[in-house]
Amino acid sequence: MEIIRLPALSDNYIFLLYDSQTNNAAVIDPADHQPVLHKLEQLQADLVAIFNTHHHHDHIGANQKLIQKFPHLKVYGGTEDKGRIPGQQVFLQEGDRVEFAERSAQVFFVPGHTRAHIAYYFPPITPDETGELFCGDTIFAGGCGRLFEGTPAQMVDSLCKLRNLPDNTRVWCAHEYTLNNLRFALTIDSQNPELQKRFARVTAMRQRQEATIPSLLGLEKQTNPFLRWDSSSLQLIAKTTDPIKTFATIRGMKDKF
Ligand code: ZN
Ligand code: FE
């Protein structure tokens, strides 16, 4: 399974999964049809599935057009998103599995950004492979999604599930927000050497207009303040030792940043 990153809209990424054995493709969160159709044409591939993480327009914007072009494709999304994802046929919940290219993804129910958000995790098949996590707007590189429909407690619970995955998991989030996220992170975690190094690296990458996605979950665990609600330095900033209150305070600060 090859993963192809397609930039879309102002700062979205669409991920195309491609199986060169069968010439089949699947797409995660198609924000826009043009880059997807262009790449499918180049590959001469058939689109067999849309995997949506949640119902926001910048994640489902191309569903309708892609269904028109590939009427046999299947649209997957969370059970709780019923009625909000155009063309949805498969209603997924925690623990379900979806198959593509002889890989099988595990579905996580991760409410918080929306009340119905799900994530898809393809575990490695062989020990030298990496796991692939498609987490939509739940974890961002250096950040996390805003809480539009969920509570801090729900989001911490959701982030906890994803944080439990192996360190070498590649994190394919749906937006290029990394530099701004790290700028914020430095305001509350300035003494974190891994964060300082990451900020320097990402600054240089963005100057060269390089994508910072995928990131690695191990690095997120060290540098992403929204996965560090149990670190004493962030609890000091939030003036509490309660993990959920720590998360809520930091999320609130980021909303105003
Ligand atoms: Zn969203
Ligand atoms: Fe989004």
38 among known catalytic residues: no
Query: What's the whole-number mean pLDDT along residues 141-155?
Result: 98
Above 90 in pLDDT, residue 212? Answer: yes
Locus of tokens 């569903």: 63
Query: What's the whole-number mean pLDDT along residues 229-242?
Result: 96
**Ligand 2 geometric centre to CA of 50 (Å):** 16
Determine which one of 29, 59, 81, 96 is catalytic: 59
38-58 pLDDT, tens digit per residue, is 999 999 999 999 999 999 999
2 burial (CB, 10 Å; 0-12 / 13-18 / 19+) is exposed
In this prediction, residue 127 carries a pLDDT of 85
**Ligand 2 geometric centre to CA of 215 (Å):** 17
Determine which one of 29, 96, 137, 189 is catalytic: 137
Determine which one of 19, 29, 58, 189 is catalytic: 58
DSSP conformation class of 95: T
137 among known catalytic residues: yes
In this prediction, residue 247 carries a pLDDT of 98
221 burial (CB, 10 Å; 0-12 / 13-18 / 19+) is middle
**Ligand 1 geometric centre to CA of 31 (Å):** 11
Environment of ion ligand 1 (residues, CB < 5 A): 56, 137
Q: What is the rounded CA–CA span in Å between residue 227 and residue 219?
A: 10
109-121 pLDDT, tens digit per residue, is 999 999 999 999 9
Integer CA distances (angstroms), 202 to 132, 177, 218, 237, in order: 21, 11, 16, 24
72 among known catalytic residues: no
Ligand nearest to the CA of 114: 1
Computed over every residue of the chain, the mean pLDDT equals 97
Q: Token pair for residue 200?
A: 């320097």
In this prediction, residue 128 carries a pLDDT of 86
Q: What is the rounded CA–CA span in Å between residue 253 and residue 257?
A: 6
Give 67's pLDDT tier (boundaries 50, 70, 90): very high
Above 90 in pLDDT, residue 71? Answer: yes
Q: What percent of the chain has pLDDT over 70?
A: 100
Determine which one of 19, 33, 55, 56 is catalytic: 56
Q: What is the rounded CA–CA span in Å between residue 253 and residue 163?
A: 22
17-30 pLDDT, tens digit per residue, is 999 999 999 999 99
Model confidence, pTM: 0.98
Query: What's the whole-number mean pLDDT along residues 170-189?
Result: 98
